[in-house]
Amino acid sequence: MPRILITLGDPAGIGPEVIDFALATFAPPAGFEFEVLGDRSAGVPGKPDGRSAAAALAALEESVRRLKEGSADAVVTGPVSKEGLQSQGFTFPGQTEFFADAFGVADYGMLLTGPTLSVGLATIHEPLAAIPTLLNEERIVRIGTLTAGFLKKRGIAEPRIAVAGLNPHAGEGGAFGDEETRIIAPAIRSLNETGLGTFTGPAVPDAIFRDAARGGYDAVLAMYHDQGLIPLKLLDFDSAVNVTLGLPKPRTSPDHGTAFSIAGKNVADPSSMIAAIRLACELA
């Protein structure tokens, strides 16, 4: 019987209430069981502190232990405060990197998916100034491969993936930068040689997301965090899901934060949490 873990997130945020709303309204597939991890009593809604952050971290660590021992099949992680976690000795940029390290996975990635768009990220939580030095052919091929694998697992036999350029107008033939010709185009050629799907690009970043949203592509591979997340959140803000690619067991999360300012008021939208739980069931 598949068991899906759901970590509470920071108990001072909206995690507890959106989880409650989601579990009250989402009808799981037959045979699935849900288990919520975390200490609700460790947080006062809207008042995050060290105790609530410690509870959030403890739930994450417990989920890893359970997944490794085989008593759970997937995890949905509630929203956490990165600042709060770091106050407890958390050394990772985000939960994605935490889970990759916990499972000893080097080939991992972040993908966000909603009803309109799916976006893989060649780089994740990195300063914008560092992106040109971090991009290389191997990284793009790795994330493209993981993105294609995710789409195949969801039933898309021949994924169509657009690979965005880094620079305005995808470099305009070198006029605005050479990353497209020097790095991205060779990576696309390598990806097309894998037979995993059709990879197109380097695509003009300011237009490709519209094409994908209209059904022209199954996913877009963006070069950096905000390039991919701005269009995704514009179109799918309430129902997008964050997926960690490359883990031995599925990890999903709602694509929103702790929203401390509205915690405890029962006005938070549970749609993204419902979508994250639904996708975890699908992937488990």
Contact 154, 279 (CB under 8 A): no
* 104, amino acid identity: G
Tens digits of per-residue pLDDT, 27-62? 888 889 999 999 999 999 999 999 999 999 999 999
* 247, amino acid identity: L
- Could you give the CA distance from residue 190 to residue 26 in angstroms, rounded to a whole number? 41
Domains of the chain with CATH codes = 1-105+247-283 (3.40.718.10), 106-246 (3.40.718.10)
Collect all residues with Cβ–Cβ distance below 8 Å to 1 and sequence separation of at least 6: 31, 32, 33
Q: What does the CA dihedral 156, 158, 164, 165 come to, rounded to 10 degrees?
A: 160
- Could you give the CA distance from residue 208 to residue 160 in angstroms, rounded to a whole number? 13
Tokens (6 digits) for 268: 């938070």
Contact 4, 32 (CB under 8 A): yes
Mean pLDDT of all residues in 94-111: 96
Backbone phi, then psi, for 15, in 5-degree steps? -50, -55
Tens digits of per-residue pLDDT, 160-211? 999 999 999 998 888 899 999 999 999 999 999 999 999 999 999 999 999 9
β-pair partners for 198: 160
Which strands sit side by side in the sheet containing 160-164, from one edge to the other? 33-37, 3-7, 74-77, 251-254, 241-245, 109-113, 118-121, 219-222, 160-164, 198-203
User: What mean pLDDT value characterizes the chain?
Assistant: 97
Mean pLDDT of all residues in 108-123: 98
H/E element, 207:
helix 205-213
Tens digits of per-residue pLDDT, 240-284? 999 999 999 999 999 999 999 999 999 999 999 999 999 999 999
- Could you give the CA distance from residue 172 to residue 180 in angstroms, rounded to a whole number? 9
Q: pTM here?
A: 0.94
Provide the strand spans (E) within the chain: 3-7, 33-37, 74-77, 109-113, 118-121, 160-164, 198-203, 219-222, 241-245, 251-254
* 24, amino acid identity: A
Question: Residue 202: is the preceding peptide bond cis (ω within 30°)?
Answer: yes
* Residue 202 per-residue DSSP state: E
Task: Please count the residues of the chain.
Answer: 284
Structure confidence at residue 1 (pLDDT): 85
Tens digits of per-residue pLDDT, 119-129? 999 999 999 99
